[in-house]
């Protein structure tokens, strides 16, 4: 909500989309989820801009490994900084700008297959509540 208050034009566009889909109905239903693309993009951008957890659950290396020039010994605890991933200028154009439209023509989802966007983690260790939270994805 804070980002919508900071960006009134984005809030206006979301309101127009939701009102257009609701068309006089008291509520938007689960059946309407595939019609509210801009709102879904706003949610994704909010999760990118403000990830639920700054660091994902720690991992531990099971063997000695060299990763991008770093030697990581076996049994080393590794923390993944999801906030830094979401602000990486290599992956995101203008990463410090709140821009929901970046997701409008993107197939990036919450499922952890796009490693530049991991608000719920990725792979086998991704958040099990992800599918409950994101009914349409």
Domains in the chain: how many in total? 1
Is 25 contained in some domain?
A: yes
Whether residue 82 is contained in a domain is answered as: yes
Per-residue pLDDT at 131 = 67
Is residue 127 a known part of a binding site?
Answer: yes
- Looking at residue 110, its pLDDT comes to 64
Average pLDDT over residues 60-72: 94
Q: Residue 72's pLDDT is what?
A: 96
Asked if the structure places residue 108 within a domain, the reply is yes
> Is the pLDDT reported for residue 133 higher than 80?
no
Note the pLDDT of residue 93.
95
134 occurs within a structural domain: no
From 93, 104, 98, 92, select the one nearest 11 (Cα to Cα).
98
Which residues make Cβ contacts (< 8 Å) with residue 33, sequence separation at least 6?
40, 135, 136
The structure's pTM equals: 0.84
Mean pLDDT of 67-90: 94
């Amino acid at each position: 909500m804070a980002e919508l208050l900071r960006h009134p034009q984005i809030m206006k566009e979301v309101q127009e989309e939701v009102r257009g889909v609701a068309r006089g109905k008291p509520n938007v239903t689960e059946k309407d989820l595939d019609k509210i693309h801009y709102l879904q993009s706003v949610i994704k951008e909010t999760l990118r801009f403000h990830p639920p957890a700054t660091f994902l659950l720690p991992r531990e290396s099971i063997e000695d490994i060299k990763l991008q020039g770093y030697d990581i010994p076996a049994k080393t605890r590794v923390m993944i900084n999801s906030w830094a991933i979401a602000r990486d200028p290599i992956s995101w154009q203008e990463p410090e700008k709140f821009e929901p439209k970046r997701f409008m023509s993107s197939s990036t989802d919450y499922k952890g297959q796009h490693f530049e966007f991991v608000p719920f983690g990725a792979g086998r260790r991704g958040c099990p509540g992800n599918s409950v939270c994101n009914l349409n994805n």
